[in-house]
Amino acid sequence: MTATTSPFFKELDYLGHRWNAQADRPIAEMGFYRRAHLLAELSFASYWAEEYMRELCDHFGFQELRHFSFQGAHAYVIGNEHDSIVACRGTEAGDWNDIRATLKIWKATATTIGKVHSGFNAEVDHLWPELEEALQSNTRPLYFTGHSLGGAMALICAGRSELGGSATPPQEIQTFGCPRVGNHRYITHCMLRKIRWVNNNDFATRLPPAIIGFRHSGLEMYIDGRGNISGLTGMRRLGRRLASFTRGLTRARIDHFSDHLMPGYIAPILRAARVESLQGTVPV
């Protein structure tokens, strides 16, 4: 039975999502959007149980998978002959541990530099001893990714890895719907390549509030309410967001929540990856 004909894949096809990413070459040789698409798919896949994640990784082209979990915190280390990827799982509905971690918005002293979100940092603390041990033996290019809480965890893990927590320094971090993680000193202490995807009105990307000292970092890639990856800023972005929110209300949908779901990130990135492939360009 092939991956795409297994009962699991049929179920996902029924839900409207098809897994299109392929790791048939080193990630560094992929175009920007194709790389983003692969990492987005892995971030989404990390929500599934290990048996399904293993099936998905085989479908993508990864032969290695290690699952790390403790008290509701989860991360996968995924690998093939070219690369290693750490994919952290985001908030699961109904999981009190995840909800509690998100609500702990007071800042704690980071193990690196500056102040970091206490709840997110504690989630990484649960996994870090075993995860660090695994990364110390890694000799391949290393990438980090995650959605929502998983994105915050990926940023913290990558920061620790960059300061000696892994044998090879991280190449890149791509997060999707990631909240703010720490203060200015914390988010600027390492010079890693960070790509931060924001889908339209996604509420999680505006939390915790900047007014209490939390900041974002990295290159922001904004997806507008029409599903276009755009450079809109300021009043033009605000206008587009308000228009999208109003349209959503007429369809009994609240953008701030629906825009946080991973399929809303994957579809526009996949379209951009297909255009990139046709054009033979790497635009970012």
Domain assignment present for 6: no
Residue 283: pLDDT band with limits 50, 70, 90 = very low
The first and second tokens of residue 162, run together, are: 């960059």
From the list 263, 87, 276, 24, the residue with the least C-alpha distance to 284 is 276
For tokens 């914390």, name the residue.
Answer: 186
Nearest in space to 52 (alpha carbons), one of 29, 76, 69: 76
Residue 80 lies in a domain: yes
- Using an 8 Å Cβ cutoff, are 104 and 119 in contact? yes
Q: What percent of the chain has pLDDT over 90?
A: 46
Closest CA relative to residue 19, chosen from 266, 195, 223: 266
Q: Domain total for the chain?
A: 1
User: Given the structure tokens 């946080």, which residue do they identify?
Assistant: 260
Q: Return the higher-pLDDT residue of 249 and 25.
A: 25
Q: Which residues of 4-13 are buried (b: 16+ CB within 10 A; e: fewer)?
A: eeeebbeebe
The residues, ordered by sequence, that sit 6+ positions from 96 with a Cβ below 8 Å of its Cβ are: 72
Is residue 118 a contact partner of residue 194, using CB atoms and an 8 Å limit? Answer: no
Dihedral sign for Cα atoms in the order 120, 79, 66, 37: positive
Q: Are 177 and 260 in contact (CB under 8 A)?
A: yes
pLDDT, tens digit, for every residue of 92-127?
Answer: 654 445 445 554 554 555 566 678 888 888 899 999
We report the CATH number of the domain holding residue 42 as: 3.40.50.1820
Nearest residue to 137 via CA among 157, 158, 159, 165: 165
Phi, psi of 21 (to 5 degrees): -70, 150
Q: What angle do CA 190, 150, 87 make, to 5 degrees?
A: 85
Domain with 26, as residue range(s), is 21-279
Whether omega for the bond prior to residue 169 falls within 30 degrees of 0, making it cis, is: no
**Per-residue pLDDT tens over the stretch 32-71:** 999 999 999 999 999 988 988 998 999 999 999 999 998 8
Residue where the block lists tokens 């203060």: 183
Residue 11 belongs to a domain: no
| pLDDT band at residue 249 using 50, 70 and 90 as cut-offs | low
Look at residue 254 in the predicted model and tell me its pLDDT: 64
State the average pLDDT for the chain: 83
Distances in Å between the Cα of 278 and the Cα atoms of 34, 67, 265 are 12, 36, 21
